[in-house]
Structure 1
Amino acid sequence: MSIHEALSPPRPLVREAPVAIVCNGATLGVMMASPDDLEDFALGFALTEGLIETGTEMQDLEVLEHEAGWEVRFWVDGTAGARLAERQRAMIGPVGCGLCGIDSLTKAIRALPRLADGTLRLTHTEACDGPRLLRAHQPEHDRTRACHAAGFLQPSAGIVMAREDVGRHNALDKLAGAMVRAGHAPETGAIVLTSRVSTDMIQKVVSIGAPVLIAVSAATDYAVRLAEEANLTLVTRARHGSCEVLAAWRRIQT
């Protein structure tokens, strides 16, 4: 048998393309992303970046395919238009860069609201089991072994919605948009991630309004500090039936 005959066939490759998000004719960002669920992506990006507060502020959303990539266009007016004028910036960068184009260090960490205590409670088992439940909603990962996912976990219901993308930030933005379009109340469940937890992931989850974040990997020290300040329950290293609760532990019943 030759070495070529012994080698396994190559695994399918994950899709990746430039995706421009354009609001009121101005480019908010160009991300390398998986070109799927792009309407969810644009809505979630606008929400988690603080451009809009509700889905009703976004108008005339359309997805256009170009030879060089994809473009998602929409319009805002009123208070959302005022926020756009104040925060308008270009964020052009690769996957994994959540702060590209910010011209001042003070703009990197925006003020976050403090989440209400609410009534959501998860058992320790539910929290630790979140990433395992999410695995059943990752067909692109199964196909390529190269895709992140974000899911919405509700007590006794499991993962009720999930989105995938080559980038962890993009997967979370897609989930945020999908939740808004489906009418899922974020305060009724937890966000589950297949990635590490950095500062920008905390900012996005708090912007979504979910009170619990569960991740399969670790968190940064600054992310833990922000989670505590925002009253966000942060669960990390959730795998093999164990997990670590690093902030706002009261929502996890031991």
Structure 2
Amino acid sequence: MSADTEVPEIERAGFVERAIVRHRGDSSTPAFDQVAEEIPVALVFNGISHVVMMATPRDLEAFAHGFALTEGVVASAAAIFDCEVFLRDDSAEVAMTIAQEDFVRLKDRRRALTGRSGCGVCGIDSLELLDLRPEALPPPVIAVDLPQALAKAAAGLRAHQALMAATGGVHAAAWCTPQGEIVHVFEDIGRHNGLDKLIGHLALQGVDLRRGFVFLSSRGSYELARKVARMRVPLLATISAPSSLAIRIATEAGMKLVGFCRQDAFVDYTPHISL
């Protein structure tokens, strides 16, 4: 199949095999290694390409839905009328049809943005477009015993990371119950892509995002906190550290933010916010 051939989306493993040579001490051994797949994915809204993200070519419909929601392209999942995914050998395109009022708003603030695995704001040409002022979350509708819930989530996450086990090179985003039970996990070479896939899947399933929390196998960067706050999730937990801007966003939104989550420890960066 040529690189220009388009086919409807089919499930891909998310990794490819590459010939390598393993070196240990004085020995060298030819072998094959499984490497996380990374391709450019164009997101097209009402016929106009909006953004190209570097992503792992799995769960791209969920990814597109999640991106549209967490980036504020649409006001709600109901504003997405159609979504079609086309995979090529080395790229992909997701074509979405959204409500006209959302499309008009998108055109008004349209930006030329090329994403990378670790980048959330590439291409933004003014500080005003960063949208760092989240709306306040409504009062929480769940109660979370943080030590128990986080310990359970931290203990269970690795078992859900099949792509990480195969490649050692991807991030995971998990949806957890208030008790810390892991319900859904999505993986991607980009941490924000994994989160978008998770949010998109939950939106497609009609899950109430106020009744659980997000657990990430990454640091808590500002764009992750902003996406989670925009979706009205009451708690964001990460395995690594947050940034100062992520803490500020969580504080202004009234969202609980915790980091360095382990089976026996965590750090609360918003101790004044209760669940």
TM-score under structure 1 normalisation? 0.92
Tell me, yes or no, if the aligned pair for 1:129 and 1:239 is still in contact at 8 Å.
no
Distance 2:194 2:76 in 1: 19
Counterpart for residue 27 of structure 2: 3
Q: 1:107 is matched with which residue: 129, 133, 151?
A: 129
For 1:237, the aligned partner's letter is F
Distance 1:35 1:221 in 2: 32
**Correspondence 1:175 to 2:198:** yes
Distance 1:20 1:60 in 2: 16
**Correspondence 1:160 to 2:183:** yes
SS in 1 for 2:242: coil
Distance 1:241 1:113 in 2: 33
**1:248–1:21 CA distance, 2 compared to 1 (3 A):** farther
Shift of 1:87: 1.9
Shift of 1:250: 4.2
**Correspondence 1:139 to 2:157:** no
By relative contact order (CA 8 Å, sep 6+), the higher-ranking structure is: 1
Alpha-carbon displacement from aligned partner over 1:215-245 (angstroms, at most 9, x marks no partner):
0000111111111000010010001410011
Q: 1:59 is matched with which residue: 73, 77, 81?
A: 81
Shift of 1:157: 6.4
Q: What is the number of residues matched between the two proteins?
A: 249
Distance 2:243 2:249 in 1: 10
Alpha-carbon displacement from aligned partner over 1:173-194 (angstroms, at most 9, x marks no partner):
0001000111211000000000
Counterpart for residue 70 of structure 1: 92
Counterpart for residue 217 of structure 2: 194
Residue ranges of structure 1 left out of the alignment (5+ in a row): none
TM-score under structure 2 normalisation? 0.85
Distance 2:113 2:143 in 1: 37
Tell me, yes or no, if the aligned pair for 1:131 and 1:215 is still in contact at 8 Å.
no
Shift of 1:4: 3.0
Q: Which has the higher helix share?
A: 1
Residue ranges of structure 2 left out of the alignment (5+ in a row): 1-25
Tell me, yes or no, if the aligned pair for 2:254 and 2:273 is still in contact at 8 Å.
no
For 1:99, the aligned partner's letter is V
Tell me, yes or no, if the aligned pair for 1:98 and 1:169 is still in contact at 8 Å.
yes
Shift of 1:68: 4.0
- % identical aligned pairs: 35
Shift of 1:105: 1.5
